[in-house]
Amino acid sequence: MPAMLVGDHVMVALDDLAGLFQLNVREDVLAGGVTVGYKGKTVILTPGQALASAAGRLISLPAPPSRDGRRWLVPVEFISRALAVVYDSKLDVRKNARMVLVGDIRVPQITVRQEVLGPQTRVTFAVSPRTPYTLSQEPTCILVRFDADALDVTLPTFAPEGLLQSIRLSDPNSTISIDLGPRFGSFRALFVPQEDGGGQLLVDLMSGPAEQAPPPTPRGDVPQLPVPPAPETVPPMIQPAAGGLRTVVIDPGHGGEETGTKGAAGAQEKEITLAVARRLKASLESRLGVRVLLTRDGDQAMALDERAALANNNKADLFISLHANASIRKEVSGAQIYYLAADQAGEEARKATSSRQTLPTVGGGSREIEMILWEMAQLRYLSQSASLAGAFEEQFRGRVRLNPRPVQQAPLRVLAGANMPAVLVEMGFLTNPDEEPQLVSNAYQNTIAQALLDGILRYRDLADRPKMTPSQEPSPTPSPDTARRRQ
Ligand SMILES: [Zn+2]
């Protein structure tokens, strides 16, 4: 459809729309308006006014209709805002992609970003709505192919660097190509579902082969410096030991004098968190054979920093903090899973984290090392933590009542220092009269522990595989509970 600019506005001719959409356009000279008819319904436009009346509803437009010789021009938004009201199929204008979508066709909006995070480069695809995709690695590029009729894509502009040369559409209807630089060695991909029905696909590009053993990772209670194997070699990204899940730390919230939240009937958060932690520990040990540590196994107080420190000192692969929630409104309900929000302070720390420093080496010369600030250890694991949160949400669904906003980010101190994927689970609201008796019941505590176990399995399976199609991923091995539900 021909379009033209009038001022800043993209305009289309009503005559062209009339041909495409079977509209009946009439100018009412006396009334000074233009009437657009479609199957007995009308849209009325008034020259000089950035408004339309569509089937009696007043609609705002970004610009008034304007005359071009004998034709009337309307802003392209007229289609999605006004015509869509009277039309009998779905109409959607994608200005960026210069498309008008008629009917139910799949054209996901994809915004691609690129950022250098220390030694790795991250390419983020914000996809809305969630769309199945496949990743494939070619000799010079990674292809991301979406299952769609067309793509509405916004691509970043940036200078080529060692890991990443360019990002471009290789097939406008389905495929985006990540063109790799000479330093590229391997990649990891994670899909993070978002609450709005969309999601983010994170593709991390790293130097060095995928098989390479992870470097000595900086864990412990003092900042440590990973030593690169040779000068000019950038240390690979710290990999979570996902497949080799060895140690899980479970953190029962509160303890001792610090009781946490209390329910109206007297239930105490610190007791619920410990009870669920013990159940989860038992099932993780027996089902997965992993080492499970509790930050406390009794009724004692413990500082937030000590909890993450215990996980770091034991080289835990996952950190899961358990809590029960409270609200001033009794009706608020449902479990929520939190992972760390990198707020502004976090962003600055991340920049500092990825800053290179040059240290003299034994035998002369210097080498670049990467500083990792202890307090911000978690920033390197945000995408894995988001993925773990997503896995828990998925496994809770249908078994544990979820809050309308099930996955959230917050600047939680207990997570910030954890040097591994880490989430905090609010298992329900003790202030909700239905949920208080549930939270103390054996049945509910077992269900939550089972859902957490299945979420950990799911996360492990997801993190293991670089190729994935969200709609085609196999479910984790059905647990006795889920198997029974399916029957
Ligand atoms: Zn709490």
Which class is 109-206 in CATH? mainly beta
pTM: 0.47
- Residues near 406 by Cβ (< 8 Å), separated by ≥ 6? 195, 334, 335, 336, 337, 393, 396
CA 380 / ligand 1 centre spacing (Å)? 25
Helix-strand-coil split of the chain, %, nearest 5: 25, 35, 40
**Cα–Cα distance measured from residue 297 to residue 141, given in angstroms and rounded to the nearest whole number:** 50
**Residues 279-287: what's their mean pLDDT?**
92
CA 425 / ligand 1 centre spacing (Å)? 9
CA 375 / ligand 1 centre spacing (Å)? 21
Structure confidence by residue, pLDDT tens digits, 236-270: 333 333 356 899 999 999 999 999 999 999 999 99
CATH 2.60.40.3500 in the chain, residue ranges: 109-206
Identify the top-confidence range among 3-7, 26-30, 163-167: 163-167
Structure confidence by residue, pLDDT tens digits, 133-160: 888 888 889 999 998 888 899 999 899 9
Report the half-sphere exposure of 321 (CA within 13 A, side-chain side): 30
CA 424 / ligand 1 centre spacing (Å)? 9
CATH 3.40.630.40 in the chain, residue ranges: 247-486
CATH 3.30.457.10 in the chain, residue ranges: 4-102
CATH of 247-486, one of 3.30.1300.10, 3.40.50.720, 3.30.70.270, 3.40.630.40: 3.40.630.40
Model confidence at 225, in pLDDT bands (50, 70, 90)? Answer: very low
Residue with tokens 């479970």: 250
**Cα–Cα distance measured from residue 312 to residue 294, given in angstroms and rounded to the nearest whole number:** 13
> Which architecture does CATH list for 4-102?
2-Layer Sandwich (3.30)
CA 9 / ligand 1 centre spacing (Å)? 52
CA 287 / ligand 1 centre spacing (Å)? 28
CA 323 / ligand 1 centre spacing (Å)? 4
